[in-house]
Structure 1
Amino acid sequence: MPSGAEQRAAPRFTLLLRVAKLIVDGHEYFCIIRDASATGVKVKLFAPLANHVELTLELGSGDRYQAECVWTAGDHAGLRFLHPIAVEHLLDETLTRGPRRQIRLNIAIGGILRSGGEAVPISLHDISLQGAGITSDKWLLVNELVKVETPILPPIYAKIRWRDHPRYGLIFENTFRLEDLARRCSGIPSRANLPPSHFQDISGT
């Protein structure tokens, strides 16, 4: 781990509105990277950062960096990487190992899908500003317009973008604002943190 003097000496670069994801003891949260160096980042939070054991920063490319929180002030936090990174990968994600994509939260939300006059239980297993992944026992058609209702989100109209039954990909008719979706999803457990029994009646019906 770099010393305090080394961290202060590391050149810092301002990054505006670089959306990323914090994985905090298995729970996932949106954040925005404000500035970065090889030794750490300053991020904007949308929910308080709880006491934790493990903290990881994930980029849109899928690259992950283990970190620790060294300070918080209002809705911002300073994170120090456990190992120095190649900061150019934060500045230009085209240099990373994978293609950049919308940041997705891996979550577990039960809901109802309305399609063709039917209402069927579904589970959402990931969500981004523009779309979501669901599991549905009902066969759905690509490009079919559906309505999704959940306890924490407003009604969502979406089209089926791809299918691999029983898993489907949705693209929303109207995208979410980052702050709105981040606050609504804060505190929702990840699927990885839930026992299998949770999904036997995930819709609550």
Structure 2
Amino acid sequence: MFDRCNDKALTVVSMCDDVPPAPERRSDARNLSILKAAILRTALGEELCLVRNISRGGLMAHIFSELEVGDPVKIEFRSSKIVRGRVVWRRPELMGVRFSQFIDIGEILTDPKPQPSHAARAPRVTVNVPARLRSGGRYQAAALGNISQGGARIYLSEPDRLGDDVVLSVAGLPVLTGSVRWRDDTAAGIAFSELLAFEDVGRWVSSHNIGVPPQLVE
């Protein structure tokens, strides 16, 4: 079963070159506390994953899709660094990936410094899903453009008529209250009042098979 935890926990780092092995049953409880969020791109689409263990040569991560051994993957970290590799072992909700080349772990795992007045944010996955937005007593049809645990981008016809506080409704997700952080002629950025559980948003994205085309993975 998936371990409910947040992406502020530490990730286990190994200085060896091997792919992290699947966890032993007896050590699962000790090892499940070390997670870092990333975006996983595969032939099935784009989703969120949690990196549990990483080395110069590979990683172990929680995933939600049905990948198979040999499948190519791309993993984008919060540092904006993208690593390519292939799945070399699978367990229920776990995978091991061998990178196509050795990585600089420090460079990969170092979060970028946020720009002035902008806090670092959780990884956002690209989506295209109908939604409904309420601002005050007024409703607007909208399209969800991306989503993370803490916020979303929405597209709508009249973003200029939004108030500061909004309620976002998306099929399959709990009703999301939040505040408008920015807007332009076609879109707005929403910060949720409370973080979504990683498992909830991860499974929702995976179930919709939303993401990049397969040809972008190789």
Give the TM-score range, shorter chain: 0.7 to 0.9
**Cα distance per residue 1:148-200 (max 9 Å; x no partner):** 1111211111111101121100011121011111112213244655xxxxxxx
**Cα distance per residue 1:113-170 (max 9 Å; x no partner):** 1123222210011011110000111234676111111112111111111011211000
Q: What letter corresponds to residue 10 of structure 1 in structure 2?
A: D
Q: Give 1:40 deviation, angstroms.
A: 0.7
Aligned twin of 2:55: 37
Q: Give 1:51 deviation, angstroms.
A: 7.9
Aligned length: 183
Aligned twin of 1:78: 96
Aligned twin of 2:167: 147
Q: Find out whether 1:67 has 2:74 as its counterpart.
A: no
How far apart, CA to CA, are the structure 2 residues paired with 1:59 and 1:43?
A: 12
Give unpaired runs (5+ residues) of structure 2: 1-14, 21-30, 114-118, 214-218
**Which structure has greater strand proportion?**
1
Q: What letter corresponds to residue 73 of structure 2 in structure 1?
A: L
Higher relative contact order (CA 8 A, sep 6+): 2
Q: What letter corresponds to residue 92 of structure 1 in structure 2?
A: T
2:150–2:192 CA contact under 8 A, matched in 1: yes
Q: Find out whether 1:112 has 2:119 as its counterpart.
A: no
Give unpaired runs (5+ residues) of structure 1: 1-7, 194-205
Aligned twin of 2:39: 21
Q: Give 1:55 deviation, angstroms.
A: 1.3
SS for the counterpart of 1:47 is coil
SS for the counterpart of 1:102 is coil
Aligned twin of 1:4: none
Q: Could you tell me the TM-score, scaled by structure 1's length? A: 0.77
Q: Find out whether 1:10 has 2:17 as its counterpart.
A: yes
Aligned to 2:142, which of 80, 102, 122? 122
Q: Give 1:22 deviation, angstroms.
A: 0.6
How far apart, CA to CA, are the structure 1 residues paired with 2:208 and 2:161?
A: 29
1:142–1:162 CA contact under 8 A, matched in 2: no
How far apart, CA to CA, are the structure 2 residues paired with 1:33 and 1:90?
A: 12
Q: Could you tell me the TM-score, scaled by structure 2's length? A: 0.73
Q: What percentage of aligned pairs have identical amino acids?
A: 25
1:146–1:157 CA contact under 8 A, matched in 2: yes
1:56–1:64 CA contact under 8 A, matched in 2: yes
